[in-house]
Amino acid sequence: MNISKILSSLSYDDESFNIGVLFRVLFMTIRGGWLSILSLNRIAFPVFVSKNVKVVGPYKNINTGKYVKIESDVIIQTEAIKGIKIGRSCTIGSGTSIRPSSYYGGDRGEGLVLGDRSAIGINSYIGCSGYIEIGDDVIIGPHFTIISENHNFSDRKRKIKEQGVRRANIKIDNDVWIGCNVTVLAGVNIGGGSVIAAGSVVTKSFPPNSLIGGVPAKLIKTI
């Protein structure tokens, strides 16, 4: 790609070039370079990092591909058995938290793998104490919640918070579109090519090419 084509890409559709976008990308590239150095290139360069991004925990547990975009106020907690792996050309929306484990000790969570070219919408929560696998080319809308553990509550003689949790892995296959305000709970598998309607709460697994919606989510039709 030549320089003029790169510059022309740094604009909105009705503009030939936008100096504000150029400077924003430049500062994100500088922040990304610094983060790549701190991680000993586990965060591959170039990576584009906005302001107030925090990596909490050991850098040895995080790996990203090139051209990842991490927007403002993202928190990535890396204390995970299988680490945090983010594929090439992914986007992590502003205000998102990726959290496999407590900040204060206790059991380590399993971690997360996010496939190539996938995007997580703004203000999302990725609770990956059980292992979460999200495939390639997955589109996730704003305010997404995915949690791979449930609290135990069967013993009525004990407080719920004293009964511990039960982890169950989650897998979302390639080419899935997830609408805004969707919640996916522990133990769910979503087949490739599926669509999850906005506001759904997904408590069970669905096969490929499913249109899913509702609380709790049900199969609307095969697409």
Query: Is 182 inside any structural domain?
Result: yes
Query: Is there a domain that residue 174 lies in?
Result: yes
What is the domain extent for residue 195?
45-222
Predicted pLDDT of residue 4: 72
Q: Is residue 11 part of a domain?
A: no
d(CA 145, CA 170): 12
In a domain, 19, yes or no: no
Hey, what's the torsion of the CAs at 67, 71, 73, 76, to 10 degrees? Answer: -30
The count of structural domains within the chain is 1
pLDDT of residue 38: 92
Q: What is the pLDDT of residue 2?
A: 65
Give pLDDT, residue 13.
Answer: 83
Average pLDDT over the chain reads: 94
Active site residues: 151
Average pLDDT over residues 82-89: 97
Domain with residue 78: its CATH number is 2.160.10.10
Q: Please say if the pLDDT value at position 123 is more than 60.
A: yes
Residue 31 lies in a domain: no
Of 64-78, 81-95, 156-170, 178-192, minimum mean pLDDT range: 156-170
What pLDDT is stored for residue 88 in this prediction?
97
Ramachandran category for residue 55: left, alpha or beta (phi over 0 → left; psi -120 to 50 → alpha): beta
32 occurs within a structural domain: no
How much is the average pLDDT of 173-180? 98
Model's pTM, two decimal places? 0.92
